[in-house]
Structure 1
Amino acid sequence: MSPAAVASRTPIALYALTVGAFGIGTTEFVIMGLLQQVAADLHVSIPAAGLLISGYALGVFVGAPVLTLLSARWPRKAVLVALMVIFTLGNIACALAPGYASLMAARVLTSLAHGTFFGVGAVVATSLVAPERRASAISLMFAGLTVATLLGVPAGAWLGLHLGWRATFWAVAVVGVVASLAVAAWVPASVRGGEPAPWREEVAVLARPQVLLALLMTVLGFGGVFAVFTYIQPLLVEVTGFSQAAVSPILLLFGAGMIVGNLLGGRLADRRPITALLGTLAALALASVVLALSVHAPVAMVLAIGLLGVGAFATVAPLQLRVLQEAQGGQNLASSLNIAAFNLGNAFGAWLGGVVVASAAGLPATPWVAAGVTLTGLAVAAWSVRLSQRGRTAVACAQAG
């Protein structure tokens, strides 16, 4: 099918979700390129400025389940618009923050919209398309996050360098206004995105072993990515031998790989969800191994970085779809918690990678550890699939008997 034909079948509401995802992705990661400016302007150390990233991640982890439960009975469109308003106000507060504490508070406020927007947005996205295109709808929304990594974050860092870090947050706030208007204009008021359920029913879904296994495989899958990606700059410079100036162009290749992997994972999950789940996790582990074998070969290392980007985001749609499939009756909370699980994986991977870097093994060992963590996630996924197959077999036998 031609790209034009695919585009003609894509509801415009999905593009509104993509714009929102772009803004959220930009504000989450752009602080990495502003640490020196923020630290100097607010008179704090670089490590203290780095805690602004941790504070955001913590806000996502806590805010996702809380806001999802509080808004469970609201119309889905109203929830999405409200979240984008929170996001916009949070970025305005960041731009106006007079000191470090107020900037941290503003970052946490902004982060509260993150997990619930992606969680509810993923459920809404799947309701806008035919069942056989649900994973592609999820990947289209998450394309905003990948484009943010490829373009939004470098643009924000450039803007911060030339006009000051506050200008970057003003620019992201403008994106938030555009996204709010797009959601208000394009998302149908009648969109359901999962039947609202009482909070007890939403929470009860978390007692299902398959839902917990799905969340665990998300934590481990992305934990593997960030065990190495958090330290990719010193790995490229100190081990592979690239100059500091070469790091940004190489990371653009990682971002391009994320876009390819995101769309590829969605297409595969639409056709064969189980194969996509297991295959993308296996591919991500393999990409980490290739990276480990390439750390002393500059050309191979560049290619491996691109493959890591493909493998990392090829897992997103299959993992999110798995949670939605197993959480019938409480999809909104489970979907939001899976976004929190991605962020928990980020934090876990960064911590584990730090332990490795500080050990005798050092930076060259981080890709091997990343591969091990992802393979553990693959093992959890295989076990989950096996349990599902046994359950279906038992039901079939009982019916036949």
Structure 2
Amino acid sequence: MEIPHQTTACFILAALYSVYSYFAEYLKTVTGMDGKTVSLMLVLFGASGIVGNLHTAKFLSKNMVNTTMLYPIVFVGIYLLIFCLGGYFIPMIAIVLVWGAVFTGGLITSQTWLTSEAREAPEFANSLFVSFANLGVTLGTVLGGWFLSHMGAQQISWSGILFLLIAFFVY
């Protein structure tokens, strides 16, 4: 297994969590949702993730390389939608549904990709995934927090886009 695979997985997870970690704050500050609506959005996000897992598994079984290559590109599109339409209540509901489905797909995509690279040592590959995923979550929440505190909630999508671009180019 090559080092860039773990690095790419790390940056994909960083991209996911740099924005997701501040999801509730974004919905409250930018979209103008109250606490009950934000809670509902979190439930919708999670429920759409179940659907996303099923579809991602289907895509991975058909063509793992294309799925892993397209994933960062699709997620950049979602983050751009969040940035451009996040201030609008109704579009943000639709974006949350798509975002949740694609978000969970990143977890499966990264793990499948890494474990398939080391078929002779799947336990080791899985432990590497967990380690690099945890590093990605840490890096993502730190940079996302920096974006939030220095640039404001509206700009948080750019932290995710930055990590996705790095992941795409490291791949």
TM-score scaled by structure 1? Answer: 0.41
Distance 1:239 1:319 in 2: 30
Distance 1:273 1:261 in 2: 16
| Residue 365 of structure 1 pairs with residue 155 of structure 2 | yes
The answer to whether the 8 A contact 1:215-1:323 is kept is yes
Distance 2:56 2:158 in 1: 23
| Residue 376 of structure 1 pairs with residue 161 of structure 2 | no
| C-alpha spacing 1:237/1:320, structure 2 compared with 1 (3 Å) | same
Asked which structure has the greater RCO (Cα within 8 Å, sep 6+), the reply is 2
Distance 2:148 2:79 in 1: 16
Distance 2:78 2:36 in 1: 24
Q: 1:321 aligns to what?
A: 112
Q: 2:41 aligns to what?
A: 250
| Residue 312 of structure 1 pairs with residue 103 of structure 2 | yes
- How is 1:119-134 mapped onto 2 (pairs within 5 angstroms)? none
The answer to whether the 8 A contact 2:52-2:101 is kept is yes
TM-score scaled by structure 2? Answer: 0.92
Distance 1:293 1:245 in 2: 24
The answer to whether the 8 A contact 1:281-1:311 is kept is no
| Residue 298 of structure 1 pairs with residue 80 of structure 2 | no
- How is 1:107-146 mapped onto 2 (pairs within 5 angstroms)? none
- How is 1:212-227 mapped onto 2 (pairs within 5 angstroms)? 212-227=3-18
Q: CA shift at 1:318, angstroms?
A: 2.6
SS in 1 for 2:156: helix
Q: CA shift at 1:329, angstroms?
A: 2.9
SS in 2 for 1:242: coil
Larger radius of gyration: 1
| Residue 288 of structure 1 pairs with residue 79 of structure 2 | yes
Q: Which runs of 5+ in 2 are unaligned?
A: none
Distance 1:238 1:308 in 2: 18
The answer to whether the 8 A contact 1:285-1:372 is kept is no
Moved over 4 A (4+): none
- How is 1:71-82 mapped onto 2 (pairs within 5 angstroms)? none
- How is 1:61-76 mapped onto 2 (pairs within 5 angstroms)? none
The answer to whether the 8 A contact 2:13-2:107 is kept is no
Q: When the two structures are aligned, how many residues end up with a matched partner?
A: 171
Q: 2:54 aligns to what?
A: 263
Identity %: 22
SS in 2 for 1:327: coil
The answer to whether the 8 A contact 1:216-1:377 is kept is yes
Q: CA shift at 1:250, angstroms?
A: 0.8
Distance 2:27 2:70 in 1: 28
Distance 1:340 1:235 in 2: 28
- How is 1:6-45 mapped onto 2 (pairs within 5 angstroms)? none
RMSD over aligned Cα, in angstroms?
A: 1.5
Residues 113-147 of structure 1, C-alpha deviations (whole Å, 9 max, x = no match): xxxxxxxxxxxxxxxxxxxxxxxxxxxxxxxxxxx
> Counterpart of 1:343 in structure 2: which amino acid?
N
